[in-house]
Structure 1
């Protein structure tokens, strides 16, 4: 299972780089109880995107509020070539990567019953502030000015996809085997009894052909053992997105501001389906004039636990083995 840098990530953005106008549009079993979220400035953040919608048989009113998307499946997207199967079992996936602190607070629900999906294994992975994926630095389409990270490849990648993306905007591309042992900004953790799971990471950067995004997979019906999580199926493969205002604000902060990679806006992205929360658009909280202090992103993810959605042509089952965190 891979991170996403697919054939349709090569759509070249128009106009200036990141400073553009807004005119374009085996996981260790968690302890009992909900996880407290340490948010911006170290304060404890109240449960975000709590779902209070009652099941009535009627469709909810259109809204971008995560809590009102109860009856809608969150959009499925491509897995992409850079996923690594549950390689790091942890909630803090930052490692030593520099960037704006991001607390990612998710709630996984059954979209039919609106009940929380407990004990699900949730994988997240994304690129660093300069667009590089761990394990795949030689493939990633990142670029930056100033002093590059110590694990950045030298020279210009020769295998960045070219040409038009496949029809349908979902992306393609087979899985690539990792080319390095790095695993920053990747992690797997377990939903609690209320369906919540929290990750600590950094605000993602961008790379050629894609807007800022985070990948996610939800695995269900597996068995939790002392060794971790075994078997089960992947019921959801998707991506989370960031509004343009937040990305433009991040682009003023180092190391994002050193990037020389042409940026694709949310409106231009070929994978985001423009449907707001249903399409993976995160609800963000941060200090408007000081995003560097940190961001809290939340979303209710509606899934069909009986479905199989791997985001690939292969319906491979997830398998997790214990590893150091």
Structure 2
């Protein structure tokens, strides 16, 4: 199980605070069609501390600082479903999530890593915690304006913020929109899911963990350390487009925008902002989301003690997870 998160000793001296993300031509990766092939594009940018990006005759990658560590939140379920298609029967806009994991020191692909993703459904509900989620379904109301009102109260679903929300035990047996799968030899892993909805106090987001150093067995993934706990975010244009599509359009929950979110650090790709691709005026047909995560395989970031996130006060982090 990926829950065994004991850290391994460093293999060599590293700067464990220096986290970077691939930037290629202004984006993490270049996407070709929804569900299509992804490849890093050539970039002759700078490197730091004398490290050289990996390169072939057609491509190169340059590493930059990544600051997207967050807490795992109360509703993480450890490696419960080893699968790539996590949709089950949930309605929503199809989303192909194409991720790449690289070593932030060497820029080399991290293969056989276990990657967890989990997120709420189109109406803000989390599987395993349906009774605790504060989604805003029903009603047939008008699409949200994007301007939240008041201060979020109660126990918000699915953590990711600073000091708030210890782990909660599941309240039901549902496991939709959750899954774990391994990276290939090039560091890629793909998930099939739906575009997330929103709930009170948070912008649209997806949670992620990366585990390394463990062993894949016939029944799961055991041992190793969790080297990254973070979140992915969606740009406002895409979220507003999704809000015109059912069942998102039936939500009556006020939506927190990307710039108002207390967890997203406003740093673009480095902060977890996905590159989203879909046909103009045709988001309902499907979205491709891509990003490259730079991680330190020797570090442990299990999301339980990372403190208050950038831009968030302690009280805001405790209430918006």
Query: Into which bin does the TM-score normalised by the smaller protein fall?
Result: 0.7 to 0.9
Identify the residue that residue 174 of structure 2 maps to in structure 1.
Answer: 182
Q: Kindly indicate whether the alpha-carbon contact (under 8 Å) linking 1:214 and 1:239 is maintained by their aligned counterparts in 2.
A: yes
Match of 1:104 among 75, 90, 97: 97
TM-score by length of 1: 0.73
Determine the C-alpha separation between the residues in 2 that align with 1:175 and 1:287.
39
Write out aligned runs for 1:1-325 (5 A).
40=34, 45-49=36-40, 56-57=47-48, 70-146=63-139, 160-161=154-155, 170-313=162-305
Give how far 1:68 is off.
6.5
The verdict on how the C-alpha distance between 1:72 and 1:51 changes in structure 2, with shifts beyond 3 A counting, is: farther
Give how far 1:229 is off.
1.2
Identify the residue that residue 319 of structure 1 maps to in structure 2.
Answer: none
The verdict on how the C-alpha distance between 1:55 and 1:188 changes in structure 2, with shifts beyond 3 A counting, is: farther
The verdict on how the C-alpha distance between 1:59 and 1:250 changes in structure 2, with shifts beyond 3 A counting, is: farther
Three-state SS of the structure 1 residue aligned to 2:284 is helix
Q: Is there any run of 5+ residues in structure 1 with no aligned partner, and where? A: 3-36, 61-66, 148-158, 163-167, 315-325
Three-state SS of the structure 1 residue aligned to 2:71 is coil
RMSD: 2.7
Give how far 1:39 is off.
5.7
Q: Is there any run of 5+ residues in structure 2 with no aligned partner, and where? A: 4-30, 52-59, 141-152, 307-321
Q: Kindly indicate whether the alpha-carbon contact (under 8 Å) linking 1:50 and 1:300 is maintained by their aligned counterparts in 2.
A: no
Determine the C-alpha separation between the residues in 1 that align with 2:232 and 2:171.
25
Three-state SS of the structure 1 residue aligned to 2:65 is coil
1:110-167 Cα distance to aligned partner (Å, 9 max, x none): 11110011110000000000000000011111011248xxxxxxxxxxx9338xxxxx
Q: Kindly indicate whether the alpha-carbon contact (under 8 Å) linking 2:161 and 2:262 is maintained by their aligned counterparts in 1.
A: yes
Determine the C-alpha separation between the residues in 2 that align with 1:133 and 1:194.
31
Determine the C-alpha separation between the residues in 2 that align with 1:80 and 1:251.
25
Give how far 1:265 is off.
0.2
Determine the C-alpha separation between the residues in 1 that align with 2:32 and 2:170.
32
Q: Kindly indicate whether the alpha-carbon contact (under 8 Å) linking 1:91 and 1:189 is maintained by their aligned counterparts in 2.
A: yes
Q: Kindly indicate whether the alpha-carbon contact (under 8 Å) linking 2:61 and 2:107 is maintained by their aligned counterparts in 1.
A: no
Aligned residue-pair number: 255
The verdict on how the C-alpha distance between 1:210 and 1:69 changes in structure 2, with shifts beyond 3 A counting, is: farther
The ranges of structure 1 where at least 4 consecutive aligned residues each deviate by more than 6 angstroms after the TM superposition are none
Determine the C-alpha separation between the residues in 2 that align with 1:219 and 1:112.
17
Determine the C-alpha separation between the residues in 2 that align with 1:75 and 1:293.
30
Determine the C-alpha separation between the residues in 1 that align with 2:252 and 2:175.
24
